[in-house]
């Protein structure tokens, strides 16, 4: 067997790795470029941060004359502001003290005037009392009138022995008591019709049984409406004085029921010549 000879070598392929040059320029990859840019940015920011901090440190250095001068000016401004605020507070305090002193003086003056006025009134009252007793003024023609309100009757009388020159007749009338049913009362008001015609008026609310009306015929009308929580009650008014104001007596005659007390009726009305009182009050049984 004869050996095979290769007179010509096989063709050289350009795709082989051996065709790549070992030394020479080569275009960097994109990943490599991004890494370089990022590293450069980091280096730039580090340098910038260092420079800024250095500038700030230099600008705040207390040994720097410019910094010390700037701090001194700021202190002076704050000091002036503080002094102005202190002066303002001192002025306000002085103003308050002046106002307090004025109020104290006004209060003391008012108290002095009140005491002086009370003293003058007391002296005048004593003088009038002495003069009234000296002149011997007294009441006559005491008369009872109609009942004005619950258990209260009006009385009148005429003050006599009043001199014609006496110019304080109303004051003398108001200061002169009269005895009614064993009790002394001073007038509620007076009418001056001349020296011999001074009339006093009394409203006596004691020992007047003829003027004492009362409630009778208690009637429970039940709940005002379902779920209202309120109940309606009516009473009939007894012993209403003849000629008296039925509305006044209905509103002033006391009533007590269901453990409650009322000074008079809440609503008053008349029906068939009778006077009725009407009450509406809270009741849990109506809820």
Q: Which of 227, 203, 228, 89 is nearest to 150 (CA)?
A: 203
Q: Does 113 or 19 have the greater pLDDT score?
A: 113
pLDDT over 80 (residue 32): no
Pick the range with the lowest mean pLDDT from 45-54, 85-94, 216-225. Answer: 45-54
Is 268 inside a domain boundary?
yes
Neighbours of 236 (CB within 10 A): 15
Neighbours of 283 (CB within 10 A): 17
> Residue 119's domain spans which residues?
63-135
Pick the range with the lowest mean pLDDT from 94-98, 150-154, 280-284. Answer: 94-98
Whether residue 168 sits in one domain with residue 131: no
Whether residue 178 sits in one domain with residue 131: no
The whole-chain average pLDDT of the chain stands at: 83
Is 244 inside a domain boundary?
yes
Radius of gyration of the chain (CA): 56
Is 40 inside a domain boundary?
no
Asked if residue 276 lies in contact with residue 268, where contact means CB atoms within 8 angstroms, the answer is yes
Is 13 inside a domain boundary?
no
Whether residue 129 sits in one domain with residue 171: no
Whether residue 194 sits in one domain with residue 167: yes
Residue 17: band (very low, low, confident or very high) from pLDDT cuts 50, 70, 90: very low
Whether residue 222 sits in one domain with residue 232: yes
Whether residue 141 sits in one domain with residue 131: no
Residue 15: band (very low, low, confident or very high) from pLDDT cuts 50, 70, 90: very low
Number of domains in the chain: 3
Q: Does 45 or 225 have the greater pLDDT score?
A: 225
Which token pair is 268? 């008053």
Whether residue 254 sits in one domain with residue 243: yes
Is 56 inside a domain boundary?
no
Work out the average pLDDT over 19-35: 54
Is 12 inside a domain boundary?
no
Tens digit of pLDDT for each residue in 151-195? 999 999 999 988 888 888 998 899 899 999 999 999 999 999 987
Domain boundary among 135, 159, 176: 135
Asked if residue 278 lies in contact with residue 236, where contact means CB atoms within 8 angstroms, the answer is no
Asked if residue 135 lies in contact with residue 162, where contact means CB atoms within 8 angstroms, the answer is yes
């Amino acid at each position: 067997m004869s050996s095979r000879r290769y007179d010509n070598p096989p063709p050289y392929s350009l795709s082989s790795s051996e065709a790549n040059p070992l030394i020479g320029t080569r275009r960097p990859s994109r990943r490599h470029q991004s890494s370089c840019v990022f590293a450069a940015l980091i280096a730039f920011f580090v340098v910038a941060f260092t420079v800024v901090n250095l500038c700030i440190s230099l600008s705040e250095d207390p040994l720097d004359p410019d910094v010390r001068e700037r701090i001194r000016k700021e202190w002076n401004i704050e000091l002036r502001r503080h002094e102005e605020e202190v002066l303002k507070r001192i002025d306000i305090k002085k103003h308050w003290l002046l106002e307090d002193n004025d109020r104290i003086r006004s209060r003391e003056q008012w108290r002095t005037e009140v005491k002086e006025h009370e003293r003058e009134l007391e002296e005048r009252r004593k003088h009038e009392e002495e003069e009234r007793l000296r002149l011997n003024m007294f009441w006559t023609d005491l008369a009872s009138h109609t009942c004005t309100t619950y258990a209260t009757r009006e009385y009148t009388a005429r003050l006599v022995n009043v001199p014609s020159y006496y110019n304080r007749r109303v004051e003398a009338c108001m200061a002169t008591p009269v005895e009614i049913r064993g009790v002394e009362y001073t007038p509620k008001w007076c009418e001056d019709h001349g020296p011999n015609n001074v009339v006093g008026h009394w409203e006596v609310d004691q020992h007047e049984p003829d003027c004492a009306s009362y409630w009778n015929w208690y009637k429970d009308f039940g709940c005002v409406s379902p779920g209202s929580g309120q109940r309606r009650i009516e009473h009939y008014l007894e012993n209403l004085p003849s000629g008296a104001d039925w509305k006044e007596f209905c509103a002033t005659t006391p009533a007590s029921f269901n453990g409650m007390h009322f000074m008079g009726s809440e609503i008053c009305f008349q029906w068939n010549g009778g006077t009725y009182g009407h009450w509406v009050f809270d009741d849990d049984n109506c809820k």
